[in-house]
Structures are given as structure tokens and as C-alpha cells.
């Protein structure tokens, strides 16, 4: 069994499969993360957002999902690198030809560059928010009608998004996410072989609108909102 699993992971098809699985899992994470972060738009001094981040960092089930999420992020990055190296070695010339064909979209030809921009974004993002939440000395706050003293993540977010360069990095990165997911979502579906003549095109189209337009636009609106508040 172990050798079969190792074989799947090491084969090119297995690697593609794991890329698709991890990528689609990360897509579902993005929906939840975006929906939770919408609390930033509430004009309540950050109460809803701070209560949401408290829940996300203390609920045992969410904690387990968070570790699966970290594992999938690392796996997705690792396999994207090994797949690129494998493809270059396996067919250096035909790979270039295939990629320049008319059928390949700009996104599909630039998945590596788009992924690298997202990786840089993620490192900065995790350092500013996730690392501060886990290991930093965060400001705290207590709201009326709530006995708990909460970590004031809202003020950390507001502070970060008061800087123009930081907001610019987020907005540019959301374009990279939009193009990455424009190709990635449908490609993941194809790799997993989920194919129904009627429903698959509908799911792909809805997925593309959601992941390439709605989600990146709402994420980009968050830093822009704080920047406008500060004018």
C-alpha cells in the first residue's frame, strides 16, 4: 500500500492530481477567508472581525483544518516546482511549442510567474497577520457586552492598510490571484477528471466568475476601503 501511494505521489500524473486537489482545497479556503473578512466592512470598531478571528484561531475543528491548509499550501508549492522542472527536462522543445499554441491562454502560460507573485504576497501576508496573531505582542480590546478580552487584529489590519505600498502590493497580488485561478480552477477540474456533459461547463463558468472576478475583487476592496477611510 505504502509503495502504491509513493508511486502515485512520484508519478507525473500523481503529482498533477495532488496539485489539482490541493489547489481546489485552497480555493474553498479562499471562499471562507473572504466571507469572514467581510466583517472588516462593518462599522463597529472591529468587534465582528475580532470575534471572527478569535473563533478561527480557537475552534478545535478549524484548527485541524488550518493545519491541513498549511500542508496543502506547502504541497502545492512543492509540486508546482517539481512539475515545472520535470516538464522542462522531459520535453524542452515541445513544451515551449505547446505553451505558445493559440489554445493556451495567457494565464495558463504564466502560471509559474503568477504563482511566484502569490507566494511573495503570502510570505508578506503571513508575516504581518498570521505571525503577529500567533507569536506577536498584539494590542487587546474588550467590547461592551462581551466578557472576553480579544486580540485586536482589526487595528493591526487597519494599520497595515494605511500604508500605500502595502495596499498596492495587495491590489497587484489580487490580479495575480485572479489570473492564476482563472486557469487553475478549470484546469484542476479537468485533471481530476470530473466530467459531466451538462454540469461541468456550468460549474467551470460559475467557478471562473467566482474565483477570477468576485473573490479577488472583494479581497482587493478591503485594503482600498481602509486607504479611503484614512484620506
Query: Cβ of residue 173: shortest distance to ligand HEM, in angstroms?
Result: 7
Question: Among residues 16 and 125, whose Cβ is nearest to ligand HEM?
Answer: 125
Strand residues in 79-205 grouped as ranges (E)? 140-141, 150-151
Q: Which residue is nearest to ligand HEM (CB)?
A: 66
CB of 78 to ligand HEM, least distance (A): 16
- Chain residues binding ligand HEM by CB under 6 A are 30, 33, 37, 53, 56-57, 66, 69, 118, 122, 125, 129-130, 133, 153, 157, 170, 177, 219, 222-223
Round to whole Å and give the CA distance between 192 and 189. Answer: 5
Of 16 and 33, CB closest to ligand HEM: 33
Nearest approach in angstroms of CB 83 to ligand HEM is 20
> Minimum distance from CB of 123 to ligand HEM (Å)?
11
SS3 44: coil
- Please say which residue, 53 or 107, places its beta carbon nearer to ligand HEM: 53
Alpha carbon distance, N-terminus to C-terminus of the chain? 61
Amino acid at each position: 500500500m505504502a509503495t502504491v501511494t509513493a508511486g502515485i505521489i512520484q508519478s507525473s500524473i500523481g503529482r498533477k492530481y495532488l496539485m489539482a486537489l490541493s489547489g481546489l482545497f485552497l480555493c474553498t479556503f479562499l471562499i471562507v477567508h473572504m466571507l469572514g473578512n467581510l466583517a472588516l466592512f462593518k462599522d463597529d470598531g472591529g468587534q465582528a472581525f475580532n470575534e471572527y478571528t478569535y473563533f478561527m484561531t480557537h475552534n478545535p475543528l478549524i484548527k485541524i483544518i488550518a493545519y491541513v491548509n498549511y500542508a496543502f499550501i506547502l504541497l502545492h508549492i512543492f509540486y508546482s516546482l517539481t512539475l515545472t522542472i520535470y516538464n522542462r527536462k522531459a520535453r524542452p522543445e515541445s513544451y515551449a511549442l505547446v505553451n505558445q499554441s493559440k489554445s493556451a491562454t495567457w494565464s495558463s502560460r504564466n502560471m509559474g510567474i503568477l504563482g511566484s507573485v502569490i507566494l511573495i504576497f503570502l510570505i508578506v501576508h503571513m508575516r504581518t497577520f498570521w505571525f503577529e496573531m500567533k507569536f506577536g505582542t498584539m494590542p487587546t480590546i474588550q467590547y461592551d457586552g462581551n466578557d472576553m478580552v480579544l486580540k485586536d487584529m482589526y487595528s493591526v489590519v487597519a494599520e497595515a492598510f494605511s500604508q500605500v505600498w502595502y495596499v498596492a502590493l495587495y491590489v497587484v497580488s489580487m490580479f495575480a490571484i485572479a489570473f492564476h485561478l482563472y486557469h487553475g480552477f478549470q484546469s484542476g477540474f479537468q485533471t481530476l477528471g470530473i466530467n459531466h456533459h451538462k454540469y461541468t461547463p456550468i460549474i467551470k463558468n460559475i467557478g471562473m466568475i467566482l474565483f477570477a472576478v468576485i473573490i479577488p475583487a472583494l479581497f482587493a476592496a478591503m485594503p482600498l476601503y481602509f486607504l479611503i477611510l484614512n484620506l
